[in-house]
Amino acid sequence: MEAIQLHTNVKSLNGELAIPGDKSISHRSIMFGAIAEGETTVTNFLLGDDCLNTIECFKKLGVLIEREDEKVIIHGKGLDGLQEPADILDVGNSGTTIRLLLGILAGRPFHSVLIGDQSIGKRPMTRVTQPLRSLGAVIHGRKNGEFTPLSIKGGHLEGMEYQLPVASAQVKSSILFAGLQASGTTTIIEPVKTRDHTERMIRQFGGEVEINGQTIQIKGNQKLTGTSIHVPGDISSAAFFLVAGAVLPNSEIKLTNVGLNPTRTGIIDVMNEMGADITITQHNEDAFEPSGDIVIKSSVLKGITIEGNIIPRLIDEIPIIALLATQAEGKTIIKDAHELKVKETNRIDTVVAELTKLGADIEATDDGMIINGKSNLTGGSVSSHGDHRIGMMLAIAASLCKEDVYLEKEDAIYVSYPSFFDHLHSLT
Ligand SMILES: O=C(O)C1=C[C@@H](OP(=O)(O)O)[C@@H](O)[C@H](O)C1
Ligand SMILES: C=C(OP(=O)(O)O)C(=O)O
C-alpha cells in the first residue's frame, strides 16, 4: 500500500483559515432545494466527495442542478418533480446521503436502488428502513434492509409517533423528510437532542415544524419554496485546527466564518473545560445558522470526563478530541459514545489502534476510550482505514511526532475537507 510521509516535529502553526462549508448543511441545501418549488442558490457549498455524491443522486432523480465552484443553483420542481431514476443511486461513502435520501424517496411513488462503497455496506440501515416501512414505504435490502444494496418503492405514507432508539440526526431527518409527505402529523421524540439543521432548513424554505425540547412535530403535504442558503464553515473541519493550535507550541490560528449552531459546539465546551485558550467572536446569532470567528492559541490542558448529552454535539470530533487528550495532563474518559462503532469505520477501534502506534497511552472501552496524558508521540506507519476524520486526526498527530510518520489511504480526506493538507501547510 502506498503511503505519504507526513510533516512531523512542527514548531508552531500560525495564520488564518477560511474553513470550507459545513457538510451536514451542504447535503441538506441540495435536498431541500431539490424538493422545493423554484430556484435555490447555495453559496460556500462544500466540494467534498460526500456532498458531490448528493448532487449526483438528485441529478439522477431528474433535478436540474448547476454548479460553478462553491456556488450551486438547484432548479426545484417540488416533490412531484422528482422522477424515477434510470440508474442506481450511488452515495459513495456518505451515511447522511443515503439515510436522508431514503426519507425523501419513502413518499415518492417510484422505484429506486441505492448503493454505496464498502464502508456504507457495513453501516446499519434498519434504524431508517424500519420507521420508513412503518410509515408505509416498501424497502428491500440485504439482511432484510439492514445493509446496502437497498431498493425502495415509496408511496402513500401515514403520519405516526416515533421514539428514536438512538440519538441520530440522520434518522430524525430521514423521518422528517418522510413526514413532510405523509398524511396527518408525524411526531419524533429524540432521546438526546441532536443537530437541528433539518428543522432550521424546513423553516428557511417556508415550511413549518414544531419543536418542543426533544419532541419534533411535522405536518404532511407541505410545499416548500426555493431560497438562498449561505453555508457556514464546518465546525467539524475547524476542529482539526482548533486542536492543532492548542497542542502545538507558539501557535495562534484564526478560523473565520465557522458554523456555531449550538447543537454542534460540544468541541468548544470540551476545549474550554480542558483549559484551552479560545476566543470566539459571534457574527450573526439570529441567522438561520449562526457563525463566527474563532482564535485558538497554544494551551495548557487538563484531562476531563466527556459523557452524556454532550456526545451528539461532538460525535464527529471524538477522534481529534482523543488526540487533544493525549496532550492534556491526567486522564480523559470518553463515555456514552457507542455510536462511534458505526461510523465510516469503528472509530473506537481505529482511533485507539492508530494513536497507540504513535506512542499514545489510550485504551478502548465498550462505549468510548480512556486516554492518559501527557504523552510524547513518537512516529510510525499509520492508516486512515479509509475514514476521513481518522486521516486528518493522524496528520495533526504527526505534527507532534518526533520521528517519521507515514500515512496510508490519505485520500479519504476528500470526503469532507479536500483542501485540508493545503490549509495545514499554509500555517507552517
Ligand atoms: O445528520 C447529519 O448530517 C450527521 C449526523 C451524525 O450522524 P448520526 O445521525 O448517525 O449520529 C454525524 O455523525 C454525521 O457526520 C452527520
Ligand atoms: C459520520 C460521518 O458522516 P456520514 O455519516 O455522513 O458518512 C462523518 O462525517 O464523520
| 327 CB within 6 A, ligand 1 | no
For residue 346, how far is its CA from the centre of ligand 2 (angstroms)? 12
- What mean pLDDT is predicted for residues 33-46? 98
- What mean pLDDT is predicted for residues 292-308? 98
Residue 101 and residue 103: Cα distance in Å, rounded?
Answer: 5
Residue 328 has a pLDDT of 98
Any idea where the domains of the chain sit in the sequence? Answer: 3-20+232-426, 23-230
Q: Whose CA is nearest to atom 10 of ligand 1?
A: 168
Please report which confidence band the pLDDT of residue 355 belongs to, taking 50, 70 and 90 as the band edges. very high
| 173 CB within 6 A, ligand 1 | yes
Residue 67 has a pLDDT of 98
One of 3.40.640.10, 3.65.10.10, 3.40.50.300, 3.30.70.2750 is the CATH number of 3-20+232-426, namely 3.65.10.10
Half-sphere exposure of 118 (CA within 13 A, CB side): 5
ipTM score of complex? 0.99
pLDDT, tens digit (0-9, with 9 covering 90-100), for 316-327: 999 999 999 999
Please check the confidence at residue 286 and state whether its pLDDT lies above 90: no
For residue 170, how far is its CA from the centre of ligand 1 (angstroms)? 5
pLDDT, tens digit (0-9, with 9 covering 90-100), for 53-76: 999 999 999 999 999 999 999 999
Q: Which residue has the cell 494513536?
A: 355
For residue 300, how far is its CA from the centre of ligand 1 (angstroms)? 31
Q: Which residues line ligand 2 (CB under 6 A)?
A: 23, 50, 94-96, 316, 343-344, 389, 416
Residue in 196, 293, 316, 387 annotated catalytic? 316
Please check the confidence at residue 285 and state whether its pLDDT lies above 80: no
- What mean pLDDT is predicted for residues 260-284? 97
Please check the confidence at residue 111 and state whether its pLDDT lies above 80: yes
Q: What is the 3-state secondary structure (H, E, C) of the chain?
A: CCEEECCCCCCCCEEEEECCECHHHHHHHHHHHHHCEEEEEEECCCCCHHHHHHHHHHHHCCCEEEEECCEEEEEEECHHHCCCCCCCEECCCCHHHHHHHHHHHCCCCCEEEEECCCCHHHCCCHHHHHHHHHHCCEEEEHHHHCEEEEEEECCCCECCEEECCCCCHHHHHHHHHHHCCCECEEEEECCCCCCCHHHHHHHHCCCCCEEECCEEEEECCCCCECCEEECCECHHHHHHHHHHHHHCCCCEEEEEEEECCCCCCHHHHHHHHHCCEEEEEECCCCCCCCEEEEEEECCCCECCEECHHHHHHCHHHHHHHHHHHHCCEEEEEECCCHHHHHCCCCHHHHHHHHHHHCCCEEEEECCEEEEEECCCCCCEEEECCCCHHHHHHHHHHHHHCCCCEEEECHHHHHHCCCCHHHHHHHCC
Please report which confidence band the pLDDT of residue 287 belongs to, taking 50, 70 and 90 as the band edges. confident
Q: Which residue has the cell 460525535?
A: 315
Nearest ligand to the C-alpha of residue 48?
Answer: 2
User: What is the percent of the chain with per-residue pLDDT over 90, rounded to a whole number?
Assistant: 98
Question: Fold identical between 3-20+232-426 and 23-230?
Answer: yes
Q: Which fold has domain 23-230?
A: UDP-n-acetylglucosamine1-carboxyvinyl-transferase; Chain (3.65.10)
Mean pLDDT score of the chain: 98
For residue 94, how far is its CA from the centre of ligand 2 (angstroms)? 6
Q: Whose CA is nearest to atom 15 of ligand 1?
A: 316
Atom of ligand 1 nearest to the CA of 198: 1
Half-sphere exposure of 327 (CA within 13 A, CB side): 27
Nearest ligand to the C-alpha of residue 171?
Answer: 1
C-alpha cell at 69: 465552484
Residue 406 has a pLDDT of 98
Residue 296 and residue 172: Cα distance in Å, rounded?
Answer: 33
Residue 393 and residue 415: Cα distance in Å, rounded?
Answer: 14
Mutate to test the pocket of ligand 2, among 316, 350, 388, 390 (most ligand atoms within 8 A of CB): 316
Please report which confidence band the pLDDT of residue 415 belongs to, taking 50, 70 and 90 as the band edges. very high
Q: Record the pTM.
A: 0.98
Mutate to test the pocket of ligand 2, among 22, 23, 171 (most ligand atoms within 8 A of CB): 23
- What mean pLDDT is predicted for residues 241-262? 98
Please check the confidence at residue 1 and state whether its pLDDT lies above 80: no
Please check the confidence at residue 368 and state whether its pLDDT lies above 90: yes
Residue 58 has a pLDDT of 98
Residue 326 has a pLDDT of 98
Please check the confidence at residue 243 and state whether its pLDDT lies above 80: yes
Residue ranges for the known binding site for 3-phosphoshikimate are: 23-24, 28, 168, 170, 316, 343
User: What DSSP letter does each residue of 301-347 carry, written as one string?
Assistant: -B--EE-GGGGGGTGGGHHHHHHHHHTSBEEEEE-S-GGGGGSSS-H
pLDDT, tens digit (0-9, with 9 covering 90-100), for 196-238: 999 999 999 999 999 999 999 999 999 999 999 999 999 999 9
- What mean pLDDT is predicted for residues 356-380? 98
| 93 CB within 6 A, ligand 1 | no
Residue 174 has a pLDDT of 98
* 196 catalytic per annotation: no
Bond into 262 cis (ω within 30)? no
Higher local confidence (pLDDT), 10 or 284: 10
Please check the confidence at residue 2 and state whether its pLDDT lies above 90: no
pLDDT, tens digit (0-9, with 9 covering 90-100), for 117-126: 999 999 999 9
Residue 354 and residue 362: Cα distance in Å, rounded?
Answer: 10
